[in-house]
Amino acid sequence: MSTYLVTGGAGFIGSHLCDALIASGDTVRVLDDLSTGLRSNLPPAATLIQGDVADPAAVAAAIAGVDGCFHLAAIASVEKGVTDWLGTHHANLTGTITLFDAIRRQDRPIPVVYASSAAVYGDAAHVPIAETDPCRPLSAYGADKYGCELHARVASHVHRIPTVGLRFFNVYGPRQDPKSPYSGVISIFCQRIAAAGSLKIFGDGQQTRDFIYVADVVRALLAAMALRPADAPVFNVCTGTATSVEALARLIADLTGHSLDVETAPPRAAEIRHSVGAPNLANSILGLPQRVKLRTGLADVLAWINGSAA
Ligand SMILES: NC(=O)c1ccc[n+]([C@@H]2O[C@H](COP(=O)([O-])OP(=O)(O)OC[C@H]3O[C@@H](n4cnc5c(N)ncnc54)[C@H](O)[C@@H]3O)[C@@H](O)[C@H]2O)c1
């Protein structure tokens, strides 16, 4: 059994990871500033340190004595990166370097698995996108996530810290806050359709995304922690399946039995048209060829929304 630090553990993905670690008998410490995360997301057995991942003293205290770190703390919003460029940079890139710097000051370099994003690719020339395709981020968020990957290489090559970066595509599942303006399309659509409300689709609805269920993401995080590589690899965490925004709305309506009430809005500026990843590297090296089907995952989200509303 091991002790892990999960930064951002009170958030959507982090809290599911904490559940899985505790279920397998590990000890979990969480560093989270609760800016978007909730204390109530955490399993009771997790210890919360409320603090900023870009604060060197808070990070040094949080990593003392742990066997590994999952680094998920970030301002996970492309839109917020537009309005608060410097603030998101501080949390997203300075926070990551602060963590690596605290680890290299310890006697023992502990492994770090960190959240990157499909946003590192920008508008790719073709899909599915492989890890070897060029990274041309279009947003501050994507640029900072790419910066995290570059600094992870430094952490690995200069400071001998084993790192693995996971480029998450569109993650969805219970606990993704549908009320947040920065939330994923699935939580917003599920909440609107379940409440028999109208939906807003930007553009023609034919933009496609690669939706991956949070339990598959947790499996990828755990498998990545077991790797302890020397060459700072990065992996797409995706399904390889394209789903259009319109098809997604129809599928949710079908699952709820409600009819679709769609309002169309002009396409959003600089929105990426197609984002679908090639999962081959994760399938072979992390050993995760199976994925939860979209229909099954959506049913879980709808059950969670109905349960929260009850
Ligand atoms: N959800 C997705 O589809 C998706 C896709 C790609 C990448 N990611 C990445 O995965 C990670 C987790 O995302 P999520 O969807 O769970 O988001 P989330 O907002 O639910 O979780 C992020 C957590 O980090 C915490 N946090 C933010 N700034 C912090 C700071 N300065 N110090 C300490 N804690 C801080 C928040 O309070 C929150 O609990 C993030 O790094 C995000 O960029 C998510």
Cα–Cα distance between 88 and 61 in angstroms, integer? 23
- pLDDT at residue 197, rounded to an integer: 84
Q: What mean pLDDT value characterizes the chain?
A: 94
Cα–Cα distance between 299 and 256 in angstroms, integer? 9
- pLDDT at residue 310, rounded to an integer: 47
pLDDT band at residue 309 under the 50/70/90 scheme: low
pLDDT at 177 exceeding the cut of 60 = yes
Residues of the chain with CATH 3.90.25.10: 176-210+241-275+292-309
Average pLDDT over residues 134-163: 97
Ligand 1 pocket, residue 76 CB under 6 Å = yes
Q: Residue 8 — φ and ψ, nearest 5°?
A: 70, 25
- pLDDT at residue 93, rounded to an integer: 98
Q: Which CATH class is domain 3-170+211-237?
A: alpha beta
CA 166 to chain centre: 8
Q: Is 213 in the active site?
A: no
Cα–Cα distance between 225 and 124 in angstroms, integer? 28
- To the nearest 10 degrees (0 to 180), the angle between helices 56-63 and 95-104 is 50
pLDDT band at residue 239 under the 50/70/90 scheme: very high
User: 141, 146, 172, 213: which one is catalytic?
Assistant: 141
Distance between Cα 115 and ligand 1 center (Å): 8
Please write the tens of the pLDDT for every residue from 244-280: 999 999 999 999 998 888 899 998 876 788 999 999 9
- Give the type of residue at 55: D
Least confident of 27-31, 60-64, 71-75, 194-198: 194-198
The enclosing H or E element of 237 equals strand 234-237
Residues of the chain with CATH 3.40.50.720: 3-170+211-237
Closest C-alpha to 248, from 195, 188, 310, 306: 188
CATH of 176-210+241-275+292-309, one of 3.20.20.60, 3.90.25.10, 3.40.718.10, 3.40.50.150: 3.90.25.10
